Each structure stands twice: as structure tokens, then as C-alpha cells.
Amino acid sequence: MALPSYAGPLETFWYYAFRAFCGLVFIFLISPLLIIIPLSFNIEPYFSFTEGMLAFEPDAYSMRWYKEFFTSDRWMNAIQNTFIVAICSTILSMILGTLAALGLSRSELPFKGLIMGLLISPMIVPLIISAAGMFFFYSSLGVSQSYLGLILAHTALGTPFVVITVTATLSGFDHNLVRAATSLGATPTYAFFKITVPLIMTGVISGGLFALMTSVDEVVVALFIAGAEQRTVPMQMWAGIREQISPTILAVATLLVCMSILLLTTVEYLRRRSETIRGITPQ
Amino acid sequence: MMTNTVEAEGQLTPEEQKRLTADMHRSLRRKKFRALFLVAPLLIFIMVTFVAPIVSMLYRSVDNPQVLEYMPNTSAALADWDGKDIPDEATFAALVTDLAEGRKNHTIGKAATRLNYERSKMRSLITGTARKAGRLKPPYKDKVIKIKAGWADIDTWKIIKRESKSLTASYYIAAFDMETTPDGEIKMLPEKERVYFKMLWRTIWMSVLITLLTLLLGYPVSYLLASLPMRTANTLMILVLLPFWTSLLVRTSSWIALLQGQGVINDILVWFGLVNDDSRLSMIYNATGTVITMTHILLPFMILPLYSVMKTIPPSYMRAARSLGATPFTAFFRVYLPQSVPGISAGAILVFILAIGYYITPALVGGQTGQFIGNMIAYHMQGSLNWGLAAALGVILLVLVMGIYALYSRIVGNNNQMTLR
């Protein structure tokens, strides 16, 4: 959308004003993520820039809060809990979600709309309502304040992402490939693992990454149904922000931003790979 | 129709035809079961871990076991009371039995708390009487009234009778800022005491404001992204996707660092001399903080659907309009904007649904004036422990969201849900 050569002065003005506005919006989007990085190296226990930091004095910067983070039992324990819960719930989501997506892609499935609606409902219902409902129900079952309860809850919240991504991958899936394999003598199981699985794998993995991210970042449900034993990183951050704001949180936040960059790259890579495999021109 | 063709060719007898149809039905049924079999594990899982909790919450919002369970004799004695006069000695005897029993089992407090929702002072009335109930000798009526004069008030009894039913609408009545008078009339609370309706209203209008802001900021950016060459657009898209993938709490804490009194933005304003050092702006722990932070958090949810719709609008349409003599503004408003409406409505409804159910961000940056209805639900879940009211507020919010979602799926269809949350 380059500025056309016939543009008048007003149009030229609008062209640059528009770009400047977009630039500001991009700054608005990204600056909160960047600002925490230098702040996390603050030597003082404050949430704001000190004069020394602004003058770029090396003394004003330190790894203090990272050290505190990596030596704190609470945080390390929280990381461990987060990973236990996230990994278990992601694996469960991937298995259950992929099976369901395979079923949903069959035209013979009755009540398809209703089933799809139910399966993705955890994504639509506001988290505070899910949390409230789960709090009552899981307590009465005796699984609240346990790893099991938290894993079940996070699995329920994560599966819609797997269902949707795998269903989307299957929508471009050429069933003739499976028919061809079977007609050439492959058993249905063999055809499934040799033809279907490799083609839907990218969908399964990116759905799984969404589910992983949901669990790693989830705090509302965790606050309601996890006990002190299952304290996760987001719960610890929540407590930290509410009680005393220490730059340790910013150190954690910086690490989490790095993690999102990593995840974003992976998902983007998978998306392009999937398009290449399915014969869509990569964009 | 197909059978007709087959018959016309004369290759199948009626029996063969019947058998063929039966075979086909059987095979179809088998396929149906196979599909169901694949979906079943997740369906059962979601039913147990997600749908059942929501349904149990629905039930809890009307469930009313306390009075019936913990004051069984009084409830029974009041069953055929006509409500005209203070009940007779037998009812008072039942009351004393319940209170003494309830105090011994530590259950009377639950009934007292329940009745206190209907009318304050009920708790002290009941627990105060219960403390002495064990030592009372018949006749009870006058002695009980002597302990607490509230028992001579006919309304006390009317409320107990009303709440000794196992289902109640009173949590919903409270959630709509209404009350039931002892005579069973439902009326609005006085203006000053209306809390929830105000909160719901504030949640709605702040969500609308956030939606409009995300649209205002997101539309130009999506337009730019959709019209740039692919490579540049993909690079800029990272600036949208990175916040999208970053933890909610990270972004919220970063906004605290930016907006607080001694924060980065105030520092910059002071440094430029736009604001005095002693009159720094308060941009956080109030409604402003909630709006800014949530606009940032929800902006990608506006940009992504807008972008995906704008991507499908051929740029040649605008060029055609221009070449036919339209000014850039006419071309935009008459040609481009109408075609981007599906994206606007999808993004707006998505952002609005997400905003209205928020809890974490308002709780951290909202202070007194930036709280949402979700915070009220959390407060009644964890603070006041009035679970019935929390459930009723939850159901109202759920109905609201589901209504808007139905609208959303109508507009967008079922294939664009990836961008949710």
C-alpha cells in the first residue's frame, strides 16, 4: 500500500498520520512487555526506574531478583506444580481432543452441533463461572485441593483448543488418501498411523501448545480449587502482586515473556509446516 | 429416488432391495456408533468435569436446605400456621427444641446465617436465643419473647415460614437488588442499597467502552496489516501475537509498573513538565486502570478477527472506486467499511464476551471503582461465603454471555472460534 504518485497533499498527510497512529498502537501493544525487562534488573526493591538506571550506571542493575527467584523454595515449588499439572493436562487434552475431533469429522455423527457446542463450552463460559461451579462440585467430590482436581479442571479448559485445531486440520484432509492406502492392502489401523496421524500431527501439537499455555497461565480456576500444596506460578504471581510488589515478579514475568516468544515461534513454524504438507502455498 | 432407478433397470427383486436397504442401514448405524465412540470419551469427560459443575451451580442458586434441615420442628409446626397472629405455644416449643438441638450440634449458625440474608438481625435473634434455649422450661412462649423481643414480631415468623421451603428465589431477588417484604411482596431496594444491578450495569458499560477502544485502536492496525505486503505484515503481526501469547498476569503487573504514581508514565510526564511532581496522575487502582489494562489485553482479540476478514477484501475494489472518481474517504466508507462489517461484529462480540466475565485484571488494578461483576462473585465465594448469591450472580452472567455468544455464532458461524480467549 505505497502512497500513489497522484496523491495530493491532504492524502499524503493522511497517509503518514495513519501510519503514525498505527505505530503508536504497536508501541502500546509491545511496550508493556519490553518495559519489564530492564525493570527486572533493578537493584532496588522498587517497581519503577531509579535515577541510576536512567543514567545507565552499572551499579543500579543487578541479577538480585533472578537470584531470589531461583533460590526461593516457594517459586521453585510453584514451577514444579505448574509443570506437573500442565504436562498431565496437556497430554490428556491431546488424547481426548484428538479422538473427539476424529469423531466430529465424520459425517455420520448425530447431533454434531450440540456435541461440538458442549465440547467447546469451557472456552465460552467466563472463567469465574467455571471456577465457581468447579469449586462447589469438586469439593463435594473431594477432589478439590488436590493435583487430580487441578489436572481435571485444566484438561477441561484445554481440550477445546485441541478439538478446534485438529478439526480445522481435518477439514482440509483428503479422505481419498486413506481409501487409496486401504485399497492397496493397508489395514485400517496401519492406514491410520501411516497416513492420518502424520497429516494431523501438526494440528494436534499446536492444539496441545494452546492447551499447555492455557494451563500454565491459568489462575482463576486454580485460585478456587487448588490448595496451598498445589500452588502454581500464576497463583504465586497473583499473591505477589496483591501482597507486596517485589521485582521478583518482574523477573518471573521476563522469563515468561521469553517463554511466550519460544511458544509463538513454535506455533508459527507448525502452522507453516502444516500448510506446506497440506499443499496450501505457505504465506 | 435411487431405488427407482435401480428398479427401472430391473436388476433387483423387492426382497433383494429390502435386504440391501437393511444392510445399508446397518452399516450406517455402525458408522454412527463408531463416530460416537470416538467422541464419547471427551464428551463424558466434559460432562463430568465441566457441565456437571455448572449445573450444580445452577441448582445451588435456588437450593435452600438450611432452615428445613436445621430447624425441622419449627418448619413443621409453621406449615399450617395462618400467618395472622404470633404462633401458639406448640410452635414455640418446637423452636426451643430446634435451637437447643442446633446449638448442641453447632448447626444453628447455618440456619441463622441463611435467615440473616433475608433480614439482618435474624442471626443475633436466633443465636442469642439458642444460647439460653437449653435451660428453658415450659411454657416457652413468654420466656422466649423475654429473651429476644424479635419473637413477638410476626414478620420474623413469616420469614422463617417462607424460607422453610427447599427451593428459593431469594438469591435471584437479591441479585437484582430487590427484596421480599415479609408479606411476600417483591420490591426494589432503596436507591442507595442497590449494589449488584449497579455493578452489572458498570460491568456492561465498561465492557462496551473497552470494546469500542479496542475497535478504535484495532481497526487501523488490521487495515494496515491487511494491506501491507505479506512479509512485512507477518513481521508486524508478531507485535500483535506476542502480547496475545503472553501471560495475563505478566501484562497486568507490567501495567502496574507503567501506570502507578511513581511509575514510568508519570515519571515521563513529570520529566517533560506536563504534570507537577506532587500532583501525579492516578491512573491505576481505579476504573481508568481497568480500562487501559483490559484494552491492552483484549486488543489482539479484536485485531485477529478483523485482520482475517480484511484479508479477504480485494484491494482492487478500492482502486476501482478511486478510478471512478471517489475521494479516498468515500471509497473507504462506501466500499471498504461495509465489507469489513463481519470482522467488526465478530471482534466486537468476542472482546465484549471476554471483557464482561473478567475477574483477575479488575481485581488487581481496579481498586474501588474498577471492579466487575466477576469480582462480586469471587467475593461472595471466598469472602462473605454467601454461595447461593454467588451462584445466582454467576447464572445471570452466564445467561448474558450465552445470549451474546448465540449472536456471535450466528454472525461468525462455527469456524472462527480459534481466536476465543
A-chain CB neighbours of B262 within 8 Å are 46-48
Phi, psi of B180 (to 5 degrees): -100, 125
A-chain CB neighbours of B256 within 8 Å are 47, 241, 245
Residue B139 preceded by cis peptide, ω within 30: yes
Q: Which is it for the CA torsion B71, B77, B81, B85, positive or negative? A: negative
**Given an 8 Å threshold on Cβ–Cβ distance, is B364 in contact with A264?**
no
Strand extents, DSSP E, B16-168: none
Cα of B237 vs its chain's centroid, Å? 32
Give the ipTM of the model, two decimals please. 0.90
Q: Flag whether residue B313 sits within 8 Å of chain A, measured between CB atoms.
A: no
Containing B188, the helix (H) or strand (E) segment is strand B186-188
Look over chain A and give the mean of its residue pLDDT values, rounded to a whole number: 89
- Furthest CA-CA distance within chain A: 75
Q: What is the pLDDT of residue B318?
A: 87
What is the distance in angstroms between the Cα of A30 and the nearest Cα belonging to chain B? Answer: 6
**C-alpha separations of A243 from A175, A237, A246 in Å:** 56, 10, 9
Q: Which cell numbers hold the place of A271?
A: 502452522
3-state secondary structure of B187: strand
pLDDT in tens, chain B (421 residues): 444 554 555 678 888 899 999 999 999 999 899 999 999 999 999 999 999 999 999 999 999 999 989 999 999 988 888 888 888 888 999 999 999 989 889 999 899 999 998 888 889 899 889 888 888 888 888 888 888 888 988 888 988 988 888 899 999 999 999 888 888 888 888 888 888 988 999 999 999 999 999 999 999 999 999 999 988 998 899 999 999 989 999 999 999 989 988 888 988 898 888 888 888 888 999 999 999 999 999 999 999 999 999 999 998 998 899 889 888 889 999 999 999 998 999 899 999 999 999 999 999 999 889 999 999 999 999 999 999 999 999 999 999 999 998 887 777 665 444 443 3
Query: Which of B36, B42, B405 comes nearest A96 by C-beta?
Result: B42
User: CA-to-CA distance for B418 and B409, rounded, in angstroms?
Assistant: 12
Q: What is the pLDDT of residue A282?
A: 43
How many other C-beta atoms are found inside a 10 Å radius of the C-beta of residue B403? 11
Kindly list the domain boundaries of chain A, sorted by start residue: 72-245
Q: Flag whether residue B415 sits within 8 Å of chain A, measured between CB atoms.
A: yes
Q: What is the pLDDT of residue B418?
A: 42
Q: Which is it for the CA torsion B264, B266, B269, B272, positive or negative? A: negative
**Given an 8 Å threshold on Cβ–Cβ distance, is A129 in contact with B60?**
no
- Residue A276 one-letter amino acid: T
**C-alpha separations of B251 from A30, A139, A241, B219 in Å:** 10, 32, 12, 22
Closest CA in chain B for residue A156: B46
C-beta separation of B17 from B6 below 8 A: yes
Containing B178, the helix (H) or strand (E) segment is strand B178-180
User: CA-to-CA distance for B165 and B157, rounded, in angstroms?
Assistant: 14
Residue among A129, A231, A255 with most chain B CBs within 10 A, to mutate:
A129
Which of A120-129, A241-250, B94-103 has the weakest average pLDDT?
A241-250
User: CA-to-CA distance for A158 and A214, rounded, in angstroms?
Assistant: 6
Topology (CATH level 3) of domain B195-419: MetI-like fold (1.10.3720)
Q: Flag whether residue B37 sits within 8 Å of chain A, measured between CB atoms.
A: yes
Q: What is the pLDDT of residue A184?
A: 94
Q: How confident is the model at residue A283 (pLDDT cuts 50, 70, 90)?
A: very low
Kindly list the domain boundaries of chain B, sorted by start residue: 24-61, 65-167, 195-419
A-chain CB neighbours of B417 within 8 Å are 120, 123, 164
C-beta separation of A121 from B50 below 8 A: yes
Topology (CATH level 3) of domain A72-245: MetI-like fold (1.10.3720)
Containing B310, the helix (H) or strand (E) segment is helix B287-310
